[in-house]
Every structure is written in C-alpha cells, then in structure tokens.
Amino acid sequence: MDINSTLQALRDPFGVPFFPWVFQLLMVLTFALHILFVNLVVGGIAVAVYEHFKGGDFNRRLSKALAQVSTINLSVAIVLGVAPLLFVQVIYDPFWYVSNTLSAWWAMIFLLVVALGFLATYVFYLKRKKNPQGYGLFGGLALVFVLCAGIIISALSVQALVPGQWLEWYTANGGLVTTGTSLYRFELGRFTHFMVPAFINIGIFMMLYAWYFRPRSDFDGAYLDWVGRSGARMAKIAAMIQVVVGFWWLLTVPADLHFMKNPFLWVGAALGLLLLVGLMKAENEPDRYAIPMALLSFVAILGMGTAREALRMTYLGVFEYSIYDYPVNVDWGSTALFFGTFVMGLVVIAYPMIVAFKLGRGTLTES
C-alpha cells in the first residue's frame, strides 16, 4: 500500500475554504485554551475530593469552592474542545477519520464518559451536604470519568500519527477488522505530560482565588493566606515533576524524527522553566504573583501546543504529508461571517464579564 497516495486520496476533494495556516494557528490557540480548562477540571476535582475527605474548616470550604467552579470549567472545556477538533478535521481529516474508524466504539464511549463525568461533578457539588461521605465518592467518580475521556482522546490522537501501522491494525489476525472495539496505541508519557500541569494550573487558580477575594470583608484573611500559599506550593512541586515527565515523553519520541533539534520544542521548554522559576518566587507572595503566573502559564501552554503541532508535522512529514499542500478554494463569505461573529461575540460578552468580576469581588460601585 502506497501510504502517501492513500492519504492524498482520503483528503476532501473540494479542498479547504481558506488558507491552511490560518486553521493551524486557530487550532493551536483553541487547543491551548481547551487544555487549560481541562487542567482546571482535573486538578480542581482532584483537589476538591482530597480536601473534602481530609476534613477541617478550611479544607471543606476550599473543596466546596473548587467543586462548584469545576462544573463551570468542565462546561467551558467541552465547548472549547469543539473548536480544535473541528480544525483538526479540516486540515488533518484523513488521519482523524481513520483513527476514529479503527476505534469507533471508543469514540462513542468518549461522549458517554464525558456526560457521566459532568453529571457526577454536579452530584458531588450539590448533594454532598446530605451525605458527605457517600456523595463525596461522586467526586472520585467524576475524576475517573474525566481521566477515561482523556485517555481515549489521547489514544485516538496518537493512532492518527502512525499511518504506517493502520494496515496492520485493519488486518489483524489475518482478517479484516471492522468492529471498532480496540484502542491500538496509547503513550503514557504523552498523557502524563498533559495531566501533570493540572496541578500547576489549579495551584495558580488557588493563588488567583486568594487574590480575587482579598478585598471582601466576609472572607477570612487566614483562610485566603492558606489557600494562596497551598496553591503556590502545589504548583511549584507539580512544575518540578513536569520537567521530569517532559524528558520522559521526549525519550519515547522516535529518534529518527530528530525532534530534539526542533526550535519549537526548546522554546516551549524554556517557557516551562521560566514558569517554574516564577512559581518558586511566588510561594511567599502568592497574591502578588497570581496574575503574572496565570499569564505565564497560558503562554507556556501555548508554547507546548505549538511544539505539539510541530511534532505532529514531523510525524506526518515522514509520509510526505503537509497541510500546506492542501487544495485551497477560498470562500470569503463564510470566512468573513466566521471572524465577524467571533469578534462580535467577544464584544457582547465583555460587559457582563466585567460586571460579574466586580460583583463577585465586591468592588462594583454606582456611577
């Protein structure tokens, strides 16, 4: 089988409606936003469950706050996850289509476990007052469901990178395999590299929590100090672990790809190390460093997402596949409509977001 010819044949014959590099940039940006909120969901639920069962006034109060915000973060993560997935389907359609066909049942199970995780998160937040121990277990279930969803989508993504193995998977045991019941490839190092930052970002979120509620007189200063310092400490330790996990993942990347020489990799690594240095300084003054660390964390995630895209292009370059060779049939109307509604949406939600921010912080005054 000529893999390159097969990949070209699987492309949409109508091409793409705009320049591929635009879709690529939007895909990296929206993926960074999506994975940030996924991190907040995983880290938020994990810390909420831990603090819930640990007990204590401060612990239970933080657990309740994180459980509540996790329901919101999960909603945002799901919505933001649609965008990069659509962009992948536009410029990497042969790979995503085959991967999902090979593991069709798992692609559908992914939707189920996301829904179950969403429901379990709400039960954990809303019902645990009636039976703290019993309903607290729903937090653990929510975490399991979310992690299962992550494992499935990670496996599907990895399977899409290795078209050289597709024929082997389709013809396993000497016959044509069309059941779609198997996951064929999963890389623990890659998955862990995406999950450890959950504790970096939820730690930074706790720093932001302490900074945000500081002006309110109904919040105990000692409680906010505890939350801020605990978050900074957790983020720092997780960042140290992430350095080790990052090298572990790199060692699993095939040496013949020469990815260690890719400049995007080292830019992303440098941003991660810069974040680690910042978190070391933030532990003593979490309020002061909350916003800078939040911004730097997002930039680091963006750098990681860019390096991830560079690695995907390196994997697929072996098969002489490039998104920049995709036929382009520019549709100016749909493109203008897309960007117009996007900008208008930002304008429309800006004012209520500002009002909500000031109301929650207790700083809104009459003009």
- Counts of helices then strands in the chain (DSSP H, E): 13, 0
Q: What tens digit of pLDDT does each residue of 310-352 get?
A: 999 999 989 888 999 888 988 898 889 988 988 888 888 888 8
Backbone torsions φ then ψ of 366, nearest 5 degrees: -75, 140
Q: Is 218 exposed, middle or buried (0-12, 13-18, 19+ CB in 10 A)?
A: exposed
Give the max Cα distance, the chain: 76
Of 74-88, 166-180, 326-340, least confident by mean pLDDT is 166-180
User: Which residues lie below 8 Å from residue 39, measured CB to CB, with a gap of 6+?
Assistant: 195, 197, 198, 200, 201, 202
Helix axes 57-91, 197-213, angle to 10 degrees: 120
Q: Answer for the pair 45, 147: CB distance below 8 angstroms, yes or no.
A: no
Q: What percent of the chain has pLDDT over 90?
A: 63
Does domain 20-328 fall under CATH 1.10.287? My reply is no
Of 149-153, 163-167, 272-276, least confident by mean pLDDT is 163-167
Q: Reduce the DSSP state of residue 161 to 3 states and report it.
A: coil
Please report the pLDDT score of residue 131 as a whole number: 62
Q: CB atoms < 10 A from the CB of 194, how many? A: 20
Q: Answer for the pair 32, 305: CB distance below 8 angstroms, yes or no.
A: yes
Of 32-46, 69-83, 164-178, 235-249, least confident by mean pLDDT is 164-178
Q: What tens digit of pLDDT does each residue of 274-310 get?
A: 999 999 999 889 999 999 999 999 999 999 999 999 9
Q: What tens digit of pLDDT does each residue of 102-121 get?
A: 999 999 999 999 999 999 99
Q: Considering the entire predicted model, what is its pTM? A: 0.92
Q: From CA 108, how far away is CA 100, in angstroms rounded?
A: 9
Given CA atoms 332, 337, 338, 342 in this order, what sign does their dihedral have? positive
| Higher pLDDT, residue 267 or 8 | 267
Structure tokens at 287: 């309020």
